[in-house]
């Protein structure tokens, strides 16, 4: 008789509860796909008395998830606690040390401890699976690890945080401020009471670090990601982007360059014609550029109980199907000893096009002064747009008000170091009324 796969689920929040329901609902289909009965034998959560709408009769309850991980009642631990330290880390480490397979949705844990955990899983001969840690229900981990081994990946980038994409989508469509859209996102449950982790780009950075490892065979290096959030993006920037043929998205980008692997998270202008520009609201998208397949874009729900549970259950099914043959895939697509240290590329060395919005004093010679400083740093300007003050003609018959006005530049490819140096020189000349806005352009 075929043995069952016994699951211990640590964490019964939105995702954990959805996993329990999905396994019950899809029991027959999972058996047909894996040749093995998958059943939940143990659970752990902080509140034993909370009504989750689940039938947990006959399932062993553990107040301590580490005790669950060590229990002889489970073969595979599903860690849905969250966080890079504390109970989540202790639970996964205990499971691996006990020879248990692990399925997790915890991007923070993998971003900070992925290399050590992968080594521990390999030593124990068990699986450490994490499809749900990046982009929710989108199977991007499997695409990179199992679907593209014949490809050399040159770039992987995407919209990896639904909160930020929702805010930028609302700002663009309705002309609202960042603050107003954030408040609505919090009211709808798309943003936390403290939204810093999402809107300042750290959530995206954790996910990007995982994708970088899968795409380029490097050790996960969350500290090597340059991070910038969306809180400084203004409605004017979105209007100017629209006029210039772009949309603004918070992207995570990992790119192979001659100097090493760039890992960067920042607001980005993408052409309206690109697939990723069409992704609005809380939806996620990931694009892979590779030599054989060209450009591959995956789009879908990046969060939510059912979508994330879908990815978790897919990993559970893989564990169940591979148990009979004793197969265990390397965590990041290759043995941990083969993962090379990520050669970091500082953001100052990034080269590309830039959108620069300067708030300058509306007086003769300002645009020429800006252009001179740009030329000194060998920065070529593709286009320049200047908006006059509405009352300029009243104040000055020559159309110069002396009031602060926006001056927008689009550059050809330039290094970030040169762009920053030019902006410092422009500020030193006294031409700026406020700090400049700088947004990178990611062309197709």
3-state SS, one letter per residue, for the chain: CCCCEEEEEECCCHHHHHHHHHHHHCHHHHHHHHCCCEEEEEEECCCCCCCCCCCCCCCEEECCHHHHHHCCCCCEEEECCCCCCHHHHHHHHHHHHCCCEEEECCHHHHHHHHHHHHHHHHHHCCCEECHHHCCCCCCHHHHHHHHCCCCCEEEEEEECCHHHHHHHHHHHHHCCCHHHHHHHHHHCCCCCCCCHHHHCCHHHHHHHHHHHHHHHCECCCHHHCEECCCCCCCHHHHHHHHHHCEEEEEEEEEEEECCEEEEEEEEEEEECCCHHHHCCCCEEEEEEEECCCEEEEEEEECCCHHHHHHHHHHHHHHHHHHHCCCCCCCCCCCCHHHCECCCECCHHHCEEEEEEEEEEECCCCHHHHHHHHHHHCCCCEEEEEECCCCCHHHHCCCCCCCCEEEEEEEECCEEHHHHHHHHHHHHHCCCECCCCEEEEECCC
pLDDT per residue as tens digits for the range 261-287 = 999 999 999 999 999 999 999 999 999
319's tokens: 């564990």
Q: Are 55 and 20 in contact (CB under 8 A)?
A: no
**48 lies in the same domain as 144:** no
* CATH number assigned to the domain comprising residue 288: 3.30.360.10
Share of residues in the chain with pLDDT > 90 (%): 81
Answer yes or no: is 168 a known binding residue.
Answer: no
pLDDT per residue as tens digits for the range 331-342 = 999 999 999 998
pLDDT for 419 equals 96
Q: Are 6 and 76 in contact (CB under 8 A)?
A: yes
Answer yes or no: is 142 a known binding residue.
Answer: no
Q: Token pair 């509405």 is at which residue?
A: 390
Would the pLDDT of 392 be above 60? no
Q: Are 356 and 411 in contact (CB under 8 A)?
A: yes
Mean pLDDT of all residues in 295-308: 92
* CATH number assigned to the domain comprising residue 92: 3.40.50.720
Spatial distance between the Cα atoms of 334 and 339, rounded to a whole number of angstroms: 7
pLDDT for 400 equals 56
Mean pLDDT of all residues in 51-67: 90
pLDDT for 402 equals 63
Spatial distance between the Cα atoms of 379 and 370, rounded to a whole number of angstroms: 11
pLDDT band at 387 (very low <50, low <70, confident <90, very high): low
Q: Are 306 and 127 in contact (CB under 8 A)?
A: no
**69 lies in the same domain as 190:** no
**198 lies in the same domain as 323:** no
* CATH number assigned to the domain comprising residue 418: 3.30.70.260
pLDDT band at 390 (very low <50, low <70, confident <90, very high): very low
**155 lies in the same domain as 13:** no
Share of residues in the chain with pLDDT > 70 (%): 95
Would the pLDDT of 27 be above 90? yes
**320 lies in the same domain as 278:** no
**152 lies in the same domain as 280:** yes
Mean pLDDT of all residues in 220-237: 95
Answer yes or no: is 192 a known binding residue.
Answer: yes
**15 lies in the same domain as 116:** yes
pLDDT band at 32 (very low <50, low <70, confident <90, very high): very high
**206 lies in the same domain as 68:** no
Number of domains making up the chain? 3
Answer yes or no: is 307 a known binding residue.
Answer: no
Mean pLDDT of all residues in 311-333: 89
**293 lies in the same domain as 181:** yes
Q: Are 300 and 384 in contact (CB under 8 A)?
A: no
pLDDT band at 54 (very low <50, low <70, confident <90, very high): confident
Whether 419 maps to a domain, the answer reads yes
pLDDT for 444 equals 66
Whether 374 maps to a domain, the answer reads yes
pLDDT per residue as tens digits for the range 157-208 = 999 999 999 999 999 999 999 999 999 999 988 888 899 999 999 999 999 9
pLDDT band at 50 (very low <50, low <70, confident <90, very high): confident
State which of 284, 317, 338 marks the end of a domain: 338
Mean pLDDT of all residues in 105-131: 96
Whether 343 maps to a domain, the answer reads no
Answer yes or no: is 421 a known binding residue.
Answer: no
Spatial distance between the Cα atoms of 438 and 237, rounded to a whole number of angstroms: 10
pLDDT for 254 equals 96
pLDDT for 401 equals 58
Q: Return all residues near 218 (Cβ < 8 A) that are at least 6 apart.
A: 212, 261, 339, 340, 341, 342
State which of 338, 361, 390 marks the end of a domain: 338
Q: Are 271 and 277 in contact (CB under 8 A)?
A: yes
Answer yes or no: is 15 a known binding residue.
Answer: yes
**Nearest of 152, 184, 147 to residue 166 by alpha carbon:** 184
**151 lies in the same domain as 130:** no
pLDDT for 1 equals 38
Answer yes or no: is 265 a known binding residue.
Answer: no
- Domain boundaries, position 269: 140-301
Whether 130 maps to a domain, the answer reads yes
Q: Token pair 């075929």 is at which residue?
A: 2
**175 lies in the same domain as 90:** no
Whether 235 maps to a domain, the answer reads yes
Spatial distance between the Cα atoms of 96 and 16, rounded to a whole number of angstroms: 20
Average pLDDT, the chain: 92
Q: Which residues pair with 384 in a beta bridge?
A: 409
pLDDT band at 92 (very low <50, low <70, confident <90, very high): very high
Mean pLDDT of all residues in 143-151: 94
**334 lies in the same domain as 353:** no
Would the pLDDT of 56 be above 70? yes
Residues classed as catalytic: 207
pLDDT for 2 equals 58
Answer yes or no: is 41 a known binding residue.
Answer: no
């Amino acid at each position: 008789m075929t043995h069952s796969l016994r699951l211990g689920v640590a964490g019964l929040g939105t995702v954990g509860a959805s996993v329990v329901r999905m396994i019950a609902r899809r029991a027959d289909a999972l058996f047909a796909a894996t040749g093995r009965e998958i059943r939940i034998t143990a659970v752990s959560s902080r509140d034993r008395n909370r009504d989750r709408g689940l039938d947990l009769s006959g399932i062993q309850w553990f107040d301590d998830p580490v005790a669950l991980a060590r229990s002889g009642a489970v073969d595979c631990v599903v860690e849905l606690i969250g966080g890079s330290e504390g109970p989540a880390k202790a639970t996964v480490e205990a499971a691996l040390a006990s020879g248990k397979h692990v399925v997790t949705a915890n991007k923070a844990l993998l971003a900070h401890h992925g290399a050590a955990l992968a080594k521990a899983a390999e030593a124990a001969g068990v699986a450490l699976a994490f499809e749900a840690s990046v982009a929710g229900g989108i199977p991007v981990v499997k695409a990179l690890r199992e679907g593209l081994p014949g490809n050399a990946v040159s770039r992987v980038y995407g919209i990896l945080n639904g909160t930020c994409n929702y805010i930028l989508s609302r700002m663009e469509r309705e002309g609202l401020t960042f603050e107003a859209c954030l408040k609505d996102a919090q009211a709808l449950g798309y943003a936390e009471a403290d939204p810093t982790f999402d809107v300042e780009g750290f959530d995206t950075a954790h996910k990007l670090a995982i994708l970088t490892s899968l795409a380029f065979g490097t050790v996960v290096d969350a500290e090597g990601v340059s991070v910038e959030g969306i809180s400084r993006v203004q409605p004017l920037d979105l209007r100017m982007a629209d006029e210039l043929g772009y949309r603004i998205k918070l992207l995570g980008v990992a790119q192979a360059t001659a100097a090493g692997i760039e890992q960067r998270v920042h607001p980005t202008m993408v052409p309206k014609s690109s697939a990723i520009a069409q992704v609005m609201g809380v939806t996620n998208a990931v694009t892979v550029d590779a030599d054989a397949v060209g450009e591959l874009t995956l789009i879908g729900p990046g969060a939510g109980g059912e979508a994330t549970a879908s990815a978790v259950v897919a990993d559970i099914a893989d564990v169940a199907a591979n148990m009979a043959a004793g197969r265990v895939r390397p965590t990041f697509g290759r043995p941990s000893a083969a993962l090379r240290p990520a050669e970091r590329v500082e953001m100052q060395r990034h080269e590309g096009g830039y959108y620069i919005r300067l708030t300058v004093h509306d007086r003769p010679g300002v645009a020429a002064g800006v252009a001179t400083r740009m030329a000194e740093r060998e920065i070529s300007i593709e286009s320049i747009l200047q908006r006059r003050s509405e009352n300029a003609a009243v104040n000055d018959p020559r159309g110069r008000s002396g009031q602060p006005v926006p001056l927008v530049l689009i550059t050809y490819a330039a290094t970030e170091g040169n762009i920053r140096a030019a902006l410092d020189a422009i500020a030193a000349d006294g031409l700026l009324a406020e700090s400049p806005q700088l947004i990178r352009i990611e062309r197709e």
